[in-house]
Amino acid sequence: MTTRRSGGGARRALLPCAVALLLWGSAQHAAAQDSWWGADKALHFSVSVGLTGGGYALAVPLVEAPGARATLGASFSLTLGVAKELYDSTGAGDASWRDLTWDVVGTATGALFSLGVEWLIGALSEPPAVKLAPSNTSDDHTPPL
């Protein structure tokens, strides 16, 4: 017959709770020092816009559909943004959800800007449609009866 030790399950359940509290406390401390409008947020935004536009431009000779090009550009930018935050989370920097949020906002802006530029270039490169007004003269030069 086996006997169960009382309290062992409770201690095992407390360990994940204690780890979660420690992580939550350090995240709260980091968030208190991480402003939504810091200079690094402008850098995250602008680099993401540039990476998305660059990825879009690199996709132009490879992919015909503008939506697919925008998806490739956005994927390129977000992959690098997430990789940077994962690298920061190893202790090499300060990982931040706010930085990642600005990466997403910059990526969306870059994709929309890229689509808009392509639309504008396409609209400007097409010859204008010429509408002819109806003519009051006839080509047969016969006098009216």
* Per-residue pLDDT at 140 exceeds 90: no
Q: Decide: pTM greater than 0.75.
A: no
- pLDDT, residue 45, reads 98
Which residue in this structure is represented by tokens 């998806």?
Answer: 71
Helix, strand or coil, per DSSP, at residue 35: coil
Of residues 21 and 109, which shows the higher confidence score? 109
* Per-residue pLDDT at 10 exceeds 90: no
Q: Could you give the C-alpha distances from 71 to 74, 77, 78, 105, in angstroms and in order?
A: 5, 10, 10, 14
Task: Tell me what the mean pLDDT of segment 40-68 comes to.
Answer: 97
**pLDDT class for 46, splitting at 50, 70, 90?**
very high
Q: Supply the mean pLDDT for the chain.
A: 83
Residue 63, Ramachandran bin (φ over 0: left; ψ between -120 and 50: alpha; else beta): beta
